[in-house]
Amino acid sequence: MINTTDVLIIGGGFAGVSTAQKLAENGIKTILVDKKDYFEVTFANLRNLTDPNKTKNRARKRYQDFLKSDFIQTSVEQLDDHQALLANGEVVKFKRVIIASGTSYPSMTVAKTLTALNLEQRNQEFASQNDALQAADSILVMGGGVVGVELAGEIAFSFPDKKVTLSHSGNVLLEGFKTKAQRKAKEQLMQQGVTIEFNRKYQKQDDVYLDKSSGKVSTFDLVFEAIGVKPNNQFLQTHLSDILNAQGYIKIDNKFRVLGHTNLFALGDIAEVGEAKLGYLAKQQGAHLGKVICAELAGKPTKAYKTNPLMALIPTGQESGIMQFPFAVTTANFLVNIKQKDLFINKIYKEFGTQPNTQ
């Protein structure tokens, strides 16, 4: 079967969905392809894991229940400048394509799943992970970035009697953040009883974990590996490997156009945008790209995207967190609690023109 569309969007995360909604609202024929049948507010996932009664799976919603563009549940096998070959055997011919395929963790299914491709499977995946978490006495979280810091804090808050260890290969948490944010994150985690180990490179060997740096051998009941993020670029290798940089991310200009290709665009985590890879920024990128394409089709001038300085709100449990602004860092409750209320689930779906599932 051959499908035709004005715009094909590959990937249904924050970037892909925000672009699709903008284009469809303006009457532009758009198809979004994703291997899952649901969107999820990924920065609510860690709370969903540790305290499922707080979010009740409201972070996820089927595309068919709110997406204004057409949707095909499958993955892209190969892509060139004019068409995409899908895993289900179909072909999509397009005038423009937007690559928003994101990144993945090899073994961190809580953050981004590899196998739960429908909503029921994903909800069950979280239920099973929560069961494993409740049964464990000792937990290792590997990785001192945003996901690792937040996960360690969420576990420690919800399960204060468990031994939680956060290991990091570097010597500071939240690399790339301001020094005060790094210090406050460490202090808040330690106040909740988290053991923090720096300069650690744990690798599993049989039933134990060996630190390659020190030779230390440790055992844990449960391990979360918030490390090793990889760009989802496999479908580009056959015809479009030239668009990738040395790290595997897509090279683009300041209007998200892929360098050297007039009708290819890329944004979100897969693209070399020049700003932090955070969900709310990917959504902003999508809204901007939607405007760029609408303007191009109307023969109007387009504006370059202005990258944002690093700003983030990172919970370290349900009653603490760090807010980094471009000009300051604060742990003030009235600011941190802006996210704590519902982890922005309602806000995101409202901006997509819908509301979360009731449960």
Identify each DSSP E strand in 66-130 by its residue range.
70-73, 76-79, 83-86, 91-99, 103-104
The yes-or-no verdict on residue 213 having pLDDT over 90 is no
Q: Which amino acid is at 329?
A: V
Query: What are the backbone angles phi and psi of residue 82, rounded to the nearest 5°?
Result: -130, -20
Confirm if 154 and 51 have CB atoms less than 8 A apart.
yes
**Residue 254's pLDDT band (cuts 50, 70, 90):** very high
Q: What is the mean pLDDT of the chain?
A: 95
The string of pLDDT tens digits covering residues 158-212 is: 999 999 999 999 999 999 999 999 999 999 999 999 999 999 999 988 888 998 8
* 16 neighbors 72 (Cβ within 8 angstroms): no
Query: Which tokens is 320 given?
Result: 């603490």
pLDDT band at 1 (very low <50, low <70, confident <90, very high): confident
pLDDT at 359: 61
H helix or E strand, kind and range, residue 77: strand 76-79
Q: What is the pLDDT of residues 255-309, one digit of tens each?
A: 999 999 999 999 999 999 999 999 999 999 999 999 999 999 999 999 999 999 9
The tens digit of pLDDT for each residue in 109-151 reads: 889 998 999 999 999 999 999 999 999 999 999 999 999 999 9
Q: What is the pLDDT of residues 329-346, one digit of tens each?
A: 999 988 888 888 899 999
Check: CB of residue 345 under 8 Å from CB of residue 44: yes
pTM, to two decimals: 0.95
Rg of the chain over Cα atoms, rounded to whole angstroms, equals 21
pLDDT digits (tens, 9 = 90+) for 30-66: 999 999 999 999 999 999 999 999 989 999 999 999 9
pLDDT digits (tens, 9 = 90+) for 7-37: 999 999 999 999 999 999 999 999 999 999 9
- Give the whole-angstrom CA distance, residue 59 versus residue 63: 13
- The pLDDT value recorded for residue 114 is 87
State the burial class of residue 345 (Cβ atoms within 10 Å of its Cβ: 0-12, 13-18, 19+): buried
Write down the domain spans for the chain: 2-107+229-306
Structure tokens at 214: 């020190």
**pLDDT at position 331:** 95
Q: Could you give the CA distance from residue 108 to residue 113 in angstroms, rounded to a whole number?
A: 7
Both tokens assigned to 247: 């790290």
Q: What is the DSSP letter of 118?
A: S
Q: Pull the structure tokens for residue 147.
A: 């996901």
CATH 3.80.10.10 is right for the domain spanning 2-107+229-306? no
